[in-house]
Amino acid sequence: MHNCINGTKKYQSILDVRETEKAIKKIKDYFQINLAEELNLIRVTAPLLVKAGTGINDDLTGVEKPVSFQIKDMNHTRGEIVQSLAKWKRLTLAKLNIGHEEGIYTDMNAIRPDEKLDNLHSLYVDQWDWERVIIAPERNLEFLKKTIRRIYRAILKTEEFLAAGYPSLEPVLPREICFIHAQELADKFPDLSPEGREAAICRDVGAVFIIGIGAPLKNGLPHDKRAPDYDDWTTPTELGPGLNGDIIVWHQILERSLELSSMGIRVDPEALEKQLDMNGSQGRRELFFHQKLLKGELPLSIGGGIGQSRFCMFLLKKAHIGEVQASVWPDEVLEECRRQKIFLL
């Protein structure tokens, strides 16, 4: 667990637990309305579980194992708790016949049992998951940036809305989000790790979108890993490969970078084939989701997830994600939080 001491000043939550609970609801209600307006989205109902072996569940970086179980009344078919809804959303766009410049969003609740637990990471994940239909000419970096600016506008509106109700929660975000490619970032901070680079750029600019996460950089390593079958991280742009990335902000309480969103233009059949080969995941071609995509039965899309607890933690200036969500924690984390008078829900 990260130490919640900032310099010589001990952390103290601005809002008490009761006011925190009220503020969480205000943030979630207000932000999702603005996100839907910015991107022209309708709300849909999301699953907590999917059938195993279909390719619908998110493999994240490809090594995390989902919670799975046998369904007794379905001839012991295996079910899986979702890890995210990246691929399910694209199937839903087709199922609901969502048109160009329209999309969906949902409350995604997931369990990630392999997560390393700390101030920012929990076994329980809650996101606004969204997906929007695009056309081939929009599969470019400028369209990606335009979409990010719309999302960032909803983020800024929510920060201002919260500050109006709670003046002690002063806005800290810059008016514009900065864009930088992962390779540019590596060139700028060649002696730092990817996490160190994120902290360095975020400390300088306050809010940044790092482009091109998943593709190998000049050193042969990606900035961070990405699954091969949802974001397009290999299509060349004027900066380098990658039509995806992360929205990252500077968390002043923890004095570190905080990822709020992972998103991108999704793979088309050509990019999927290429990324499966690069990732050594050729066998996925035979799965239900991948077959539909390769046959051209799914729309082109852009989409991502925005962490609800992360966003609330940031806006409410909390030191631990457990202050804004209910989960389970190791005994040593519980003891450390008690010692620092941090109340976990």
Residues serving a catalytic function are 58, 112, 127, 246, 259, 262
Whether 247 and 310 have beta carbons less than 8 Å apart is answered as no
Q: How far apart are CA 308 and CA 97, in angstroms?
A: 27
Task: List the helix and strand counts (H, then E) for the chain.
Answer: 9, 11
Report the candidate in 114, 112, 122, 123 with the shortest Cα–Cα distance to residue 321.
Answer: 122
- What are the distances in angstroms from CA 308 to CA 27, 271, 305, 311? 9, 30, 9, 5
Report the candidate in 265, 323, 295 with the shortest Cα–Cα distance to residue 132.
Answer: 265
Which ranges of the chain would DSSP assign to H, the alpha helix? 17-39, 86-95, 141-165, 182-188, 194-205, 269-279, 288-294, 308-315, 331-339
The structure tokens listed for 150 are 């719309």
